[in-house]
């Protein structure tokens, strides 16, 4: 007789099996051993849903190439040879402008082949190679969704997604069946996208509402602001709801009974994001891949129900055929569970498991890649969707010529068109070495070079604010970047830590800002924190009036140009600052200092005196006909893209001169 413990264990096991089956739609015995899991992965299923998702993904990539990949601005992006690039690996170099045009042409043809399912494997391989080449060539354009596009295309390469709704299936009479792992891998990739993004949001920064402080002022949140007010909208809707959504939406899509609800929430969420953020096709890629979570044969069911001309007998025959097809798949599954796995099947399953483990590990691998980390240690492969709100006050590039002991200040965008390099130490180091290369070449080629020798140093002084904190230095302005040692596995010597001890001031920063803005429509405030022994050299523009410096914490030494006396300020003390001259603020306390400037824009006040002009610090206006304007922009971008491609082909094959626009020149 069975003991009560054995009965209890069997009862629990039956409940677990039932729960697993109800939630996933699969039998838990399919994952009870490696062989069972292998058979499960290789079970033949309908390729219909996979084929539709392949086609829709290809369409999204066709729309993405002229825009976020930079195809419409091909000449501006790759035409200037002196522009600084930020490749992941130093040996990856850009080709000539015309050859880069051919790369884009190949990528577009690959995306077209994916869409049509024409020579699918070759088309997918061409797209994957060209896409990852462009991606690895420039880190300044990286976003989490950029990873997603490359990964999804890479996964499609190994699937049989061309077995349905494709030229290949039509021409070669391909059987509309694929191994289940074709679906599993893609669904897993989107599960990771959502779930890891949700886990990353379980941080004090995000849950306290500090990461996206201005997002609630967008017009799309107007109903929530009217109901909850701006602060609660920011906390509950922007931050908490996003956390709950990202963490749970994949489970809602997996569970059949909540799938429709999950789809409606996902559609709403992604459509809202497409209006709020400038993130290209990412929301729409997520939308068109939602059908992966539905039954594999849903396109056939939709088509069958939409055939209004069918007779009742035809409908019955279709239903019988559908039942037979389902039984056939289930029988094949039963046979597969009894079939011994081949070496190829086991090896493929092992690779699938390794890939899944990597997807879980890489977002948390920043303890290894220390050379790429910024203040939050979530740069790179992390799925940290909109986790940080950066504000940059000052970017100073100082070149010290050791030949005549003179210093020169360069335009920060002299050799690039993006400030992205300022936030990440790896790109900062790359930019310094690129500036060095360009200045040395200019010294040897140009007799009127600003330098007297090729012996010089480069210093960066960059002030940033992270998630509503004080503006502070992100790099040490006294370290020569050309003499610093950067290593991907060590913390860079030129970085400075985030001043966390004053994070509690963020509520005071918001309150003080509101108070200053209430004085009149032309007042503003700037909050600064600095390290002991460091000096801020500041110049107040003549258009600024009634400038006052106030100390919040620490001890400051204030020195003004052409003034031999210095003032010492402690907590709570203020001093008037003269406009139109330089002044120095040195932190002489043992701990970091924090202080603020308040000022009035006198020119703007003068221009708008007597008018009803006012500044709205809260809401963003709704742009009329925004969608029509967006469609027109995409159309124009496509015209420019094909124009550049045609010029590239004419130049490479026929020697026709290739016209190009020039990026705005920045004086050094």
Could you give the residue numbers annotated as active site? 201
DSSP string over 10-71: HHHHHHHHHHHHHHHSS-GGGGSSHHHHHHHHT-EEE-HHHHHHHHHHHHHHHHHTTTTT-G
* Chain center to CA of 292: 23
- Block residue for tokens 């502070």: 472
Structure tokens at 643: 């124009």
CA distances from 191 to 248, 254, 286, 599, 663 (A): 10, 9, 11, 49, 41
Structure tokens at 261: 């609800």
Cα dihedral sign for 41, 42, 45, 47? Answer: positive
Three-state DSSP state, 574? strand
- φ/ψ (deg, to 5) at 399: -115, 120
Which of 334, 25, 378 lies closest to 205 in space, CA to CA? Answer: 378
Using CB atoms within 10 Å of the CB of residue 153, give its burial: 0 to 12 exposed, 13 to 18 middle, 19+ buried.
buried
Looking at residue 591, the DSSP 8-state letter turns out to be: S
Q: Write down the number of H helices and E strands in the chain.
A: 22, 14
- Three-state SS for 266-321 is HHHHHHHHHHHCCCCCHHHHHHHCHHHHCCCCHHHHHHHHHCCCCCHHHHHHHHHH
Using CB atoms within 10 Å of the CB of residue 272, give its burial: 0 to 12 exposed, 13 to 18 middle, 19+ buried.
middle
- φ/ψ (deg, to 5) at 518: -80, -15
**Contact in structure between 414 and 436 (CB atoms under 8 Å):** no
How far apart CA 120 and CA 58 sit, in angstroms, is 11
- φ/ψ (deg, to 5) at 410: -100, 155
Which of 497, 485, 385, 364 lies closest to 426 in space, CA to CA? Answer: 485
How far apart CA 275 and CA 219 sit, in angstroms, is 10
How far apart CA 66 and CA 57 sit, in angstroms, is 15
Strands of the 535-539 sheet, one edge to the other:
535-539, 582-587, 556-560, 566-569
Separation of first and last alpha carbons in the chain: 90
Which of 501, 466, 496, 474 lies closest to 592 in space, CA to CA? Answer: 501
Which of 86, 76, 98 lies closest to 134 in space, CA to CA? Answer: 86
**Contact in structure between 456 and 471 (CB atoms under 8 Å):** no
**Residues for the chain: how many in total?**
668
- φ/ψ (deg, to 5) at 471: -70, 130
């Amino acid at each position: 007789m069975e003991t009560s413990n054995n009965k209890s264990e069997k009862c629990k096991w039956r409940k677990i099996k039932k729960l697993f089956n109800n939630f996933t739609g699969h039998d838990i015995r399919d994952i009870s051993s490696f062989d069972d899991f292998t058979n499960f992965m290789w079970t033949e299923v309908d390729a219909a849903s996979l084929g539709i998702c392949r086609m829709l993904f290809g369409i999204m990539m066709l729309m993405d190439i002229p825009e976020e990949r930079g195809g419409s601005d091909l000449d501006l992006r790759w035409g200037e040879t002196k522009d600084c690039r930020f490749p992941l690996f130093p040996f990856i170099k850009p080709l000539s402008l015309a050859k880069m045009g051919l790369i884009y042409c190949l990528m577009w043809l690959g995306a077209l082949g994916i869409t049509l399912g024409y020579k699918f494997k070759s088309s997918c391989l061409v797209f994957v190679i060209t896409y990852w080449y462009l991606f690895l060539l420039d880190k300044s354009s990286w976003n989490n969704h950029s990873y997603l596009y490359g990964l999804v295309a890479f996964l499609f390469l190994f699937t049989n997604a061309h077995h349905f709704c494709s030229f290949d299936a039509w021409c070669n009479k391909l059987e509309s069946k694929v191994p289940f792992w074709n679906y599993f891998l893609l669904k897993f990739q989107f599960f990771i996208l959502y779930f890891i993004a949700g886990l990353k949001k379980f941080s004090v920064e995000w849950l306290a509402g500090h990461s996206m402080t201005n997002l609630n002022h967008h017009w799309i949140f107007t109903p929530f602001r009217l109901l909850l007010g701006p602060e609660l909208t920011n906390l509950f809707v922007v931050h908490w709801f996003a956390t709950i959504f990202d963490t749970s939406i994949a489970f809602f899509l997996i569970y059949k009974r909540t799938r429709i609800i999950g789809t409606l929430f996902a559609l709403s969420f992604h459509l809202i994001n497409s209006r709020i953020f400038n993130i290209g096709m990412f929301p729409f890629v997520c939308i068109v891949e939602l059908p992966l979570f539905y039954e594999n044969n849903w396109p056939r069911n939709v088509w069958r129900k939409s055939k209004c001309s069918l007779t009742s007998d035809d409908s019955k025959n279709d239903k019988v055929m559908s039942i037979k097809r389902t039984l056939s798949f289930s029988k094949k599954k039963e046979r597969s569970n009894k079939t011994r796995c081949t070496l190829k099947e086991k090896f493929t399953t092992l690779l699938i498991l390794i890939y899944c483990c990597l997807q879980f590990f890489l977002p948390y691998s920043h303890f290894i890649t220390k050379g790429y980390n910024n203040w939050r240690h979530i740069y790179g492969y992390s799925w940290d969707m909109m986790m940080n709100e950066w504000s940059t006050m000052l970017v100073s590039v100082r070149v010290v010529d050791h030949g005549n002991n003179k210093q020169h200040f360069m335009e920060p965008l002299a050799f690039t068109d993006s400030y992205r390099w300022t936030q990440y130490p790896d790109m900062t180091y790359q930019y310094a070495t690129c500036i060095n290369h360009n200045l040395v070449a200019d010294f040897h080629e140009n007799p009127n070079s600003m330098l007297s020798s090729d012996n010089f140093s480069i210093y960066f002084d960059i002030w940033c604010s992270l998630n509503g904190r004080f503006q502070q230095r992100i790099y040490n302005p006294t370290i020569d970047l050309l003499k610093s040692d950067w290593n991907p596995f060590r913390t860079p010597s030129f970085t400075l830590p985030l001043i966390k001890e004053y994070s509690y001031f963020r509520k005071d920063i918001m309150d003080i800002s509101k108070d200053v803005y209430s004085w009149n429509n032309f007042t503003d405030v700037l909050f600064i924190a600095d390290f002991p022994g460091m000096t801020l050299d500041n110049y107040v523009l003549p258009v600024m009036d009634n400038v006052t410096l106030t100390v919040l914490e620490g001890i400051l030494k204030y020195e003004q140009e052409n003034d031999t006396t210095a003032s010492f300020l402690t907590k709570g003390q203020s001093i008037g600052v003269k406009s139109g001259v330089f002044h120095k603020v040195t932190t002489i306390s043992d701990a970091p200092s924090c202080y603020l400037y308040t000022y009035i824009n006198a020119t703007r006040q003068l221009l708008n005196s007597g008018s009803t002009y006012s500044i709205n610090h809260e809401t963003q206006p709704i742009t009329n006909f925004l969608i029509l304007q967006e469609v027109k922009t995409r159309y124009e971008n496509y015209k420019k893209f094909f124009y550049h491609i045609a010029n590239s082909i004419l130049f490479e094959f026929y020697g026709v001169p290739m016209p190009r626009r020039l990026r705005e020149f920045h004086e050094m």
